[in-house]
Each structure stands twice: as C-alpha cells, then as structure tokens.
Amino acid sequence: MKIRLAILAAALLLFAPSAYAGAPEVSARAYLVQNGVNGEVLAQSRDRERLPIASITKLMTVLVTLQHARLDDVVTVSRRAAAVGESSIYLQKGDRLTVEELVEAALIQSANDAAVALAEYVGGSQTAFVAMMNAEAQRLGLRDTHFANPDGLDAPDHYSSAHDVTRLARIAMKNRVIREVVDEQTAEISGGRTLNTWNDLLGAYPGVFGVKTGHTSGAGWSEVAAARSHGVTVYATILGSPARDTRNADLAALLTWGLSRYRTVHPIMRGRVYATARAPYGRCALALVALRPSTRIVRVDRMLVERVVAPTVVSLPVARGQKLGEVRVYTGRSQIASSPLVATRAIAKPGFIGRAGWYTGRTLHHIGSWFS
C-alpha cells in the first residue's frame, strides 16, 4: 500500500491573484464579515465592542413576537405606542392591525410605533417584553447584548456588538416570515399605508436578501446585510458608520470581498487516474481512477491537500470497477471530499500452465543475465 500527498492550492491561486488581499478599509466603529453557513469569521474589527445598534434591535423584537403570537392576531394600538416618535408609520390610538402587518412595518420601514405595539401586545407592557428579549438574548448566547426597549432608540443600557448582531441576524433569518419580509422593498398594509425599506442595498447590490438597518444619533449609521452568490452566503455587519452613503459603500465592499474569498472547485474528477499498481505475471500496470466526482466551495486562501491511498501491487484476479484504494482531499484538518479508486480493466489470474510459463521465462532471463 502506498500513500501519496499532493498540494492542490496553487491551481486555485492562479485564478485568484488577490486571494491573500486583506479586507477593505471601513469607516465604522466596528464591523464583522462572516460565512453565513458555517459561521467562519472572514474579517473583523472590534467585533466584541458593546455599541448602540439602533433599529437592528427590531430583529429581536420580531423574533420574540413570532415565538408568542400568530400572524393573524389583531393588535389594538395604545396611546403609548402611537406616541413613539422618529421612524414610524403614524399609528393612531385605537388602530387595529394584524401582527403580520406590524412585523412588516417594523422590519421594512423600521417603524418604532409598530415595534412598541407588538411589544405591548405580546408582553403586556414594554418592561415585560424587554425582559423577554433579554432572556432570549441570553439563551442564544449573545453575551455582548442587552436591551432597554423594543425599538432601538438610544438608551444607556441598550447595546450589542457586531459579533452578536451578526449571530442574531443569522438566527432570525432561519425564520421564514422574517426571511421573506426583510427581502421586500415595499409592502401595502391596512389604512392605505405603503411601507418602503431603509435598506439601500436591496435591489441595488446583486444577491442581497436582507437584513436590517439602524440609525440614531448615538448609533450612527449601522446595518447587518446578507448576500449570496454562486452557492456562497456572506453576512457583513457595520456599526457606527459616519454617514448613510459611507455605510452603504463600505457594506458593499465588505460583501464583495467576503464573497470573493470562495471558489467552486472540483477537487476529485471522475475517471482521472490517481494511481497505478503493478500486476503480477508480467501483466501491464493497472490504472486506478476515481469512482465519484465532487464539487465543493472552498476558501481561495486555504491549501487543499490530496491524499491517495492505493496498493503498489495488486493480487489477481482483478475485476473491472473493483475498489482498490481511495483519494481524499483536505483543507487543514477537515476532509472535504473522498472517492474510492477503482480498476479500469479486468485482469484474470493465469492458470497453472500460464504461471509456470511465466516463472520459467523469468528464470531463463536471470540465467541469461549471468552470461551477458
């Protein structure tokens, strides 16, 4: 049995000359770029710093709401909810809207009055609902997060981090309702209200499908965004950008860079000869090929190592397609692909006369070599 190792990364890097380029510079207090599937952090700056997050808060507000209310539940708006200022849909005391409509208002147009109405309906009071939000944050392992209200308006003990915001967004996006709503640019709800998103990247940056913006004087311009391309999903979070246009440009740059960290490759090709094995009795060497192909998405700045395990000599008989080894491909310590190696042809074991003839010929050859 023999083992052969080969480094495959060089071929990848030829097609990715910027494979080792660092993340673009960002004008923000903190940021994080993360693989949306496996959570791999691609780049970060002060991602555990506790900062105000403004209306990104509403991801938790809606997540908790959907755990305790049905979409067709009807909510009667209180005077307190109607009085909430800044971003709103101008609800009036006594208005009746469904939970679904208020969720759309909170996530698409980032309506503070809708968020408070949901909180009062689910929790009975804002105070009780905020306690539910903090309990859920603790359950989800958001160690840098504490909520003081359901809308995200600046408060001394209302904060999170780029790390926690990204984790919250990834969890929230597993909910079908949230996933669909944050991908909407506009929506119509009762009362003749038209909702318009604050997420400037939706429809402008190819592949963006959410998730939530936020802005207050204390939080600056913030957003967690998600984009997918060629089977890769990347989340980028920016907290505390100085301007809306700056936030948008920086987020687009981070998403582009994050998506560029990956390539689709074919680490194992069906029918490729990965090894050859000698055959006894003078038979020609036997080629061993991969039985199954594989396609994987890999980091362009990570080495791929191919490990081939195959016999140096085969025993006869051999059937065509017989499994005689294996090829495995690794990135770091993780195996990402494997396939059996099989014989490309059958080789019969010779009979007694054939074997005797081969041994006789071999002996005569050796004798002849003594006199040459």
Q: Confirm whether 294 is a catalytic residue.
A: no
The catalytically annotated residue of 87, 110, 161, 339 is 110
Residue 268 pairs with which residues in a beta bridge? Answer: 294
What lies within 8 Å, CB to CB, of 294 at 6+ separation is 266, 267, 268, 329, 336, 337, 338, 339
Cβ(106)–Cβ(58) under 8 Å?
yes
Residue 141, SS3? coil
Give which of 137, 80, 87 is closest to 112, Cα–Cα.
87
Name every residue whose Cβ is closer than 8 Å to that of residue 279 and which is 6 or more positions away in sequence. Answer: 285, 286, 313, 314, 316, 318, 347
| Catalytic-residue membership of 55 | yes
Check the CA dihedral 249-252-258-263 and report its sign.
negative
Phi–psi pair at 243, nearest 5 degrees: -150, 155
Distance CA 118, CA 137 (A): 18
Confirm if 237 and 231 have CB atoms less than 8 A apart: no
The DSSP letter of residue 350 is P
> Residue 155: left (phi > 0), alpha (psi -120 to 50), or beta?
beta
Give the 3-state secondary structure of residue 284. coil
What amino acid is encoded at 360 in this protein? T
Residue 189 contacts residue 105 (beta carbons within 8 Å): yes
**Known catalytic membership, residue 174:** no
Q: What positions carry a catalytic annotation?
A: 55, 58, 110
